[in-house]
Structure formats: structure tokens, C-alpha cells
A and B are shown apart, each in its own frame.
Chain A
Amino acid sequence: MHISLQHVGHDYGPSDESAPVHVLDDVSLEIQSGDFAVLMGASGSGKSTLLNLIGAVDRPTRGRVFLGDAETSAFDESRLTALRRTSIGFIFQFFNLIPTLTVFENVAFPLSLARRPKREIAERVGEVLGRVGLTHRATHYPNELSGGEMQRVAIGRAVIHRPPLILADEPTGNLDSKNGALILDLIREVHQSLKPTIVMATHSERAAAMGDYVVQVTDGRVSR
């Protein structure tokens, strides 16, 4: 999925009392379909905000965001929801699994939302759990898993519906080096096999090396 940001700016906290904080300022960025782009920058530089704007979680204060041919910055809430449901997979630093659902159900979540037939869900979840090595954990709940396992479930959930765009926000930030490496291998494998566009925000040089190129984010501006 081709991503295009045109003169995007984003502010937080424009309340009547305080002056707004400019998080992103006049960002223009093109990411081609199938690219594995890495966003790097210090904490607070605007990486996560950029990911949120690309992922249709937030709307820019200024400028336009395109995913493919669609201008998502002009979408209403229901179209944004539909877009996230069908076309985007998210991987977070803190895994963000749904605590009340089992591993199987967490992975199946996007397909369940799309009301896919049970048989298809079972087949695809089985396949994905096999690929992330968690078949034996299918009936477990998130609080019964280790950090690495939780992130593998999150990756399974992000790819189960084969979205053309995967966004990863510090996917190894909360893991030890061994588990971190394992997760990066998994993301690379997903990229190679399914060819989605991947945008990954990270601090880690080692993680950055996995991508096709690095987009540097500094004080709300980007450079390649």
C-alpha cells in the first residue's frame, strides 16, 4: 500500500489555557507499496504520532494523508474504522492484547470482526499460530504468557487478515535481546512472505537495519 503524507502538521493540547504543542510540522513523506520503512528518532520526536496518522488512528491538524488512492485525512470515523479493520495491522511496544480473550481469540480478532466463517478462522489462526510457534498456547490467556510470546501473538493478530499495511511501534522495546531478535526475524519473515508495506518506529539500530531505509524524525520534521 502506497503511503503519501503532504505537508502534514499535528498539534496536541490546543486548549484555551495553554498554547498548542506542535508535534509534527510540515511533514511530507512518500513510502512505496511493499517498502519496509523504519522511523528513527529520539523520544518525543513525533514517531508515534506519525504512525498514528498513517494508521488512521488520529487525524492531522494540517495537511493530507493518502493510503493508496484514498485521502484518509478526509475520512469520517466510520470509514476510518473500516480502513483499520481491513487494511492495517498494528504491533505495539506493550503488546496490547485483549486480556479477556485467549491467544486463539486474540489472533482471530480481526477475522471475527469481519464475521468470517468459523472454519476459515480456525484454519487461518491455526496456520498463523504455527508460524509464530504458539500452537500449544492457543487456549491460554495473555496473563499466562511471557513478553516474547505476547508479542508473537500480537504479530499473529496483525497479519491474520493479510493487511496491505503493517505498523509497528517499538515492537522490541519491551523485550530482552533474545526475544527482540526473534520478533524482528518474524517481522522480516512476514515482510518477505506477504509483501505488505511495513512502517516500524524504533530506537534500536539493530532493528533499523532490518528495513529498506530509515526515515529520521527530528523535532517534528522528517528526513531520509
Chain B
Amino acid sequence: MIARALILRPLLREKTRTALTILGIAVGVAVVVAIQLANQSALRAFRESVDAIAGRANYQIVGEAGPLDERVLLGLRPLWNEGVRFAPVIDVEGMLEPSQQPVRILAVDLLSDLHFRDYRYARIDTGSKHESLGDYFALFQSDSVILPAPFAREHGLGVGLGRGSRLNVSVLGRRASLVVRGILEAEGPATAFNGNILVCDIATAQRHFGLLGKLSRIDLLVPEEREQRVLSRIVLPPGARIERPSRRNERVEKMLRAFRVNLFALAGVALLVGMFLVYNTVLISILRRRRDVGVLKTVGTAPRQIFGAFLAEGLVFGLAGSVLGIALGYGLASAILRVVGRTINTLYVTSQPEAIMLTPGTIATGVAVGTILSLLSALQPALEASRVRPTAMIRPGLQQRVGHPRRLAALAAGCFIAAAFISRLPPVSGIAVAGYVAVLCVVAGFSLLAPAIVRTTSRLASPLLDRTFGIVGRLAAASLPASLRRTSVASAALSLATGMMVAVALMVGSFRETVRIWVDQTVSSDLWLRPAKGLANAQVALFPPVVGDELRKVEFIEAIDRVRGRDIIYGDTIVSVGSGELEVAARYGNLPMIAPRSSAEALRNALRRNGVVVSESFALKFGKEVGDAITIPGHATAFPITGIYRDYSNDRGVVVMDRALFMRTFDDHNINTIVVYLKRGVPMEYARRELERRFGPRFGAFVVTNGEIKREVMKIFDQTFLITYALLGVAIVVAVLGIINTLAALILERTRELALLRVGGLSTGELRTMIVLESTLLGMASTVAGLVMGYVLSWILIYVINKQSFGWTINFHTPTALIAASLAVTLLASALAGLVPARMAQRIDIASAMKTE
């Protein structure tokens, strides 16, 4: 009954405020749920593909730095009698030609593979009208390929009496024309990579794609009871390892961890702002019902009943907000998925995002997050209501009580000092935990200062408002400090949202400027020759080695730098090894260095000493310095590090070596990209046309200019950070809801006072002006505090969180226009937020309002 009297009925009566609070929490929960769903979906596709391809294998032998020698299979033969089954696999990425659509090629021994994967053939091209066991032999022909049925339908491909469709693919720089001779039902491995997969016999792949004698891996089926004994008997060549198939997922997830944690941290901002909203709502409920609480206590209601009632209010908000939030989040996830998926694809691994799936786990997370945080927010005000004596509740003025300014300032200073110390702590397993804690300390510090900020802003603005708006302005300036406890919480919430917005704008702006300068410096060549149009296919599309020799004969080319890269397993993660012609890069290029200062010196040293230069993120992640050495799996010799350079192309870490050393190390002669330096005076457009004419048809080459590359990099950068801005925009929306909510509560509380002003002759227009001025002042106080907070937070983001998560050095830069625009939008939004409560105030029935008390 107490809950009904104190909570439920008032909640139903004050529908707008109830709805605003629920919406605030819902938006916070929605963002968290959406990020979780989008992340899950983007990676589930990858995980499921790995599982589908792995089939029943419980172990795999993989090459850490490249393909395996197929002779490893010979060593496994004696284990056959022990019940161990093994299957050679080639699992590589390729492109369909001419569409350049990415596709996965799974090449297996179609006979022995039946132990591992189930293939259900929908159709097989037998070459005759009569089906027999022998029909399957058609699949072993050296140009046969098998497609999943949906893929075949989508591309209009089919099988038919010896006249199967032809399919052109480009894999590892080699083109092959294959004939479709089998169609698979969409199940098992045929569903991997969203069905964009081609299956063929292993001999076919080895022959067409230059992989003779090589395998991507060997799948193993080891009887569980003999696992230890069998595994100990397997002798692996250098550079090979045996592991469970799930390790691959774990490595990818580890690689993505910092990216995902950062997304969640941003979503957390919206949720934190939502917490302020619940805190304020419950506090306002208590203040508005303080008389009722006082009366209930006087007639014998126990403090714990009062406590329980207000906690129940928090719970109601939490539950309702969570349910709505999960629904909203489900919708939002589809929008976010595209962006998240694109970023993961561009920066980490190829994975086609799957449809969003709302799992019980996600629902539980949403409900838990919304409910627990709402309860936590309601805890303090509920406790206060239960502890205060009845007389104090009945007496007006409780709402004025905020902590003593000096005590709050001292606590705030404590938070700032703690933040300064904590931010110096090292990361925990690659996650900048200390950075996030420092951010929370700074936010707490500014929140504690919120009452002082609101009071000071009102005092400073009062003369100006008085001069401009007369008594209406003075009333507006006076009303905020009069309800300091509520207004300061609303202001703290908006300050937090604005602060994070400014901080992220500063970080992204600084990062963008740093990358722009880096690209300008790094991309110093005239033209790039690429086998694919977009950067997204850069790893898959390859040139054969011969293209380099042909290019050298071109009369207007001064020098070329053939670039090739590959991913290798390094420790328990994945890094990239890149190669180029270091002498050319030293002479014509300008790699931005951290140590030593001269890139030419570092590159020539690497060339002379068979060494490498490494990226800053590699050096930071693995604690390497110039003079140290690194070993690459499968290679006994260590490579001395002769330089550390800045690289913002990925955060995994890059090791760069000379092309000759790379070819010796990996036996890989292919080329990803060729950097072209033109002779002096050769017009770029002419060179481009000529190169495309000579190399386009033969090698499928595209020529890209220096300017186009720079624009493409910046475009990818902007796409990557799009979601960051979107998430902060949501936090601002929640905070503005908080302002509306607080002012609406103030209107309800000041009904009689406002009616009195109306009786005294204040027009409805003046009343609206007054309330909009109040919300503008609140917005101004929050924006100013947010701006200062934003600069402090950006320092932590740039120099602690970013450095520890990604290992990048970013130069500080203020994107003035962006910050000015976002502050203007926030201020305008908070001013406009005043219109809702102003409308409520305008509707007050003066006569009824004056009657009550």
C-alpha cells in the first residue's frame, strides 16, 4: 500500500515525467544492447564460418608464418592405426573476376574429407544421363569447382551435362577458369562465409593457385581417450603448431578486444547519463512527496518500508526502461551493424555480418544493466528519505540541501588527484583499465563541482539577463540555485555527455589530423599500381612477380617499390609482416620515424643487417626497442630491429623487411601493390593512362594516384569513427531528456509560485521566456563545464587509453569548428528542452493552483 500511495499512483499521474525517465534509461540500455548485438553478429559470422569449415576436427596443424609443407602428412600416417584421422586443407581468400567480389576457397581431399565435413550434393554434373558411383569422379577433374546452391543461384551458375558454367577466380595473384560440376545443399561447410565459398579438390587448388606441395593446414580427428599419447607423438616442422580450431576464434577475438571495449565504453557514457536521470527522478519523487513521506512516518511507517518503496520506484524505471531499451536496441543494432562490420572488415578480419539475433544472453544483459544501474541510482536518495526525521520531511527546504561547497571542492580535488595517479598505471592484458578508471574519477570530480558551477553561472549571468529580459531574466537566474540539488544533477548529466562529446571530438580530431599528416608524409610516391580497385580487397588481390619486371621496362618510371604483406601468428596474437624495396623507400620515401630520426638510416641498416623496422604499436605491445631482435615462427635466425616508425594502418603491429629477405623467409614472391615513382617532368595523368593501357588488360591492374590514396585513407578513417559520434549523440539526447525531466519536475513543484507570477501579471509568453532562459542557463553551465571536462578527458583518451589500447602516438589538435558546432547544438538543444516544461507551465490553471496549499 505504501508503494501504491508513494510511487505507483504518482507515477501514473505524472505521465510525462515517468515516460521521459523510462525513455532515458531505454536509450542508454538500447545503445549497450545494440553494440553487443552488432558486435556479436559481426563476429558470429566469422566464428560460425571457422566452425563450419573446421567440421568435426578437434585439432589442427597450422603454419604460423605461412603455408605448411604437405610432407607433414607423411609423418602422420603411422597414427592412422591409432584411430587418428587427418585431412589436408587449403583455405584461402580469393576474388571472383571480373566483379572482384571476395570469395573463400576451401580445397580438400574430397575422399578423406568425409571424416570431417558433410557435403550434401544437390546436383553433380556427370557428363551422362545415367547416375552412378563413378559420377563423383567428375568432381576430381583438374578444373572442377563445387558451389553452394544459393551462391550458384545468385550468380546464375549451374551444372549441366558436361556444359557446366565457367567461373573465373583470382587467388594469390593467379587467375583460373574453373567449371562448375557440383552444387551443394546449403548446410555444413557450404554455409560458411555467408555461402560465399567455393569447394574444390586439393590438387585443383594446388595446381591453379601456385600451391604445389603446400597446405593451409591439416585437420585432425584425435580420439579423446588417446589425445595425450597421440599428440605427444606428432613431430612438427619449425613454424608449425598444433592447436584446437577454436584458438583461431580466440586470436581474432583478442585482436578485436580493445576495439570492442572502446565501443562498450562509449555506450557506457549514455548509460551513465541515464543513471543521473534515474537518480534525479527518484530524488525529485522524494522531494515532491516529502510531505507524504513525513505523514507516513508520523503514523508509524518503518524507514525500511519507505526505503523499499523508493527503491521499488527505481526498479520500476529500470525494468520498464530495460524492456523498451532491448526493443530499441534491436532496431538500432541493424543500423550500427553495417558500420561495425565495415570497420572490422577494413581493419581486422574478413567477415560478412549476419542477421541480428536477440539471444537470451543479450536480453539478460540488457535487463541486468538497466535494472541494476537504476537500483544503484535510486539507492542514495531512497536511503536519505528513509533516514530523515518526519518533521524534517514536512518542513520545506529539504530540497535546498547540497553538500558544503568546500567539502565538495575537496572531494572533487581528491578525484582529480586520484585520476592523475591512476592514469599512470600500465594496461591490464592490453585493456586500458586504468584509463577508464581515471575517466570515471574525472567525471566524479566534475559532478561534485556541479552545484558550484550552476550557482556561479547563474550569478554571473544574472546581471546580463536582468538587463536584457528584466524581471523575467532575474527570476530565471534566481530559480536554478534555488533548486540546486535537482538542477545540479541535471547539469552534471549534461556536462558528462558534453564533456565526452568534446573529449571524443578532440581525440578523433587530433587523430584525424595526425593521420592526415602521416598520410601526406608516407604517401610520397606518384602512383600506385593495384590488382584491385578498393583497399578492402588489398590483402586478397595479388600481382604475379612478373609484373615487376615488366614495369621496370617502362621508360617514364624512375623507380618501383613492390609491396607484399601477410599475417603471421606471433605469440598468441596476429601481426602483419610487410615487405618493400627498402633501398627505394630510403631514397624516395619518407617514413615517419620514432627512432632513429632518419628513415633512410633505419631502412638502409635493415637492408645491410637483414633486419626489420617495426611499427610503434608493435614496439609498445611487445616491449621492443631499436637494437632488440625478433624471431619469426619457423625461422631460426633473429631479425635485428633497426628502426621504429609510426603506422596508423592497423593496431596489431607491423614488421617491415626488405623484399628479398621476405621472399627468402616466406618463399612468397607475390606482390600486393607496386609503388611507382615517375621520372621528373612526366605528367601524372599521362603516366596513369599509359600504365592502365599496358597493364590493365594483362594483369587486371588499376592505377591510383597519390591524391586518391590519401582521400581513400581519410574516408576509411571517417567511416571508422562514425559510430563514435553517433553514440555520443545518443548520450546528449539522454542528457537533454534529463533537462526536460528536471525542469518539468520543477514546474510541478513550483506550480503555485508560477500561478502567483501569472496572477501578478506575468504573461504566458513571459513565463515561457523565463523557463527557456532557465534551461538555457542550465545548458550553458553544463556546456562550459563539459568543455573543460572534455579537454581533461581528451588528455586521458589520447595519452592513456588510446596509447595503451592501440599503441598510437597522437598529436593534440583542436578541431575548432567541430567543437564549436557540437557545443552550439548542445546549447540549442538544452534551450529548446525548456519548451516542453514551458508548455506545461503555460497550461497551469491559476485559480486551482492558488486554491491548493
Contacts and interface: CB of A to CB of B under 8 A. Distances in A.
A196 B761 CA distance: 18
A109 B471 contact: yes
B846 A85 contact: no
A143 interface: yes
A82 B482 contact: no
Given A100-B475, A100-B482, A143-B397, A109 B847 contact: no
B762 A81 contact: yes
Given A52-B847, A99-B753, A57 B759 contact: yes
A96 B846 CA distance: 13
Contacts of A35: none
A77 B471 CA distance: 21
B850 A57 contact: yes
Given A55-B759, A110-B761, A96 B752 contact: yes
A99 B761 CA distance: 17
B471 A113 contact: yes
Contacts of A109: 471, 760
Contacts of B474: 101, 105, 112
| Residue in B482, B759, B761, B764 whose Cβ sees the most chain A Cβ within 10 Å | B761
B478 A101 contact: yes
A115 interface: yes
Contacts of B758: 81, 84
A26 interface: no
A98 interface: yes
Given A58-B846, A115-B470, A84 B759 contact: yes
Given A100-B482, A105-B474, A48 B851 contact: yes
Contacts of A85: 760-763
B756 interface: yes
B853 interface: yes
B206 interface: no
Interface in B521-550: none
A86 interface: yes
B63 to A, nearest CB: 76
Contact of A58 (B478, B756, B847): B847
A100 B481 CA distance: 9
Contacts, number: 69
B847 A100 contact: no
Contact of A81 (B475, B752, B756, B761): B761
Contacts of B478: 100-101
A94 interface: yes
Contacts of B678: none
A36 interface: no
Contact of B482 (A96, A99, A113): A99
A78 B851 CA distance: 22
A125 B758 CA distance: 21
Contact of B762 (A55, A58, A100, A113): A113
Contacts of A86: 761
A224 to B, nearest CB: 25
B563 interface: no
A81 B847 contact: no
Given A84-B760, A98-B753, 16 more contacts: A49-B847, A52-B847, A57-B846, A78-B764, A81-B763, A81-B764, A82-B763, A86-B761, A90-B759, A90-B760, A92-B850, A105-B474, A108-B471, A112-B474, A113-B761, A113-B762
A98 B761 contact: no
Nearest to A84: B761
A96 B756 contact: yes
Interface string B732-766: 00000000000000000000110011111111101
A50 to B, nearest CB: 12
Nearest to A92: B850
B610 interface: no
Contacts of A78: 763-764
A132 B853 CA distance: 26
15 contacts: A55-B759, A57-B847, A57-B850, A58-B846, A81-B763, A84-B758, A84-B760, A85-B760, A85-B762, A90-B759, A96-B756, A98-B757, A110-B761, A113-B760, A143-B397
A140 B190 CA distance: 83
Contacts of B482: 99-100
User: Which 7 residue pairs across A and B have the least CB separation, nearest first?
Assistant: A85-B761, A112-B471, A100-B478, A58-B847, A81-B763, A100-B482, A84-B761
A170 to B, nearest CB: 12
B123 to A, nearest CB: 71
A52 B850 contact: yes
A115 B756 CA distance: 19
A96 B847 CA distance: 14
B455 to A, nearest CB: 13
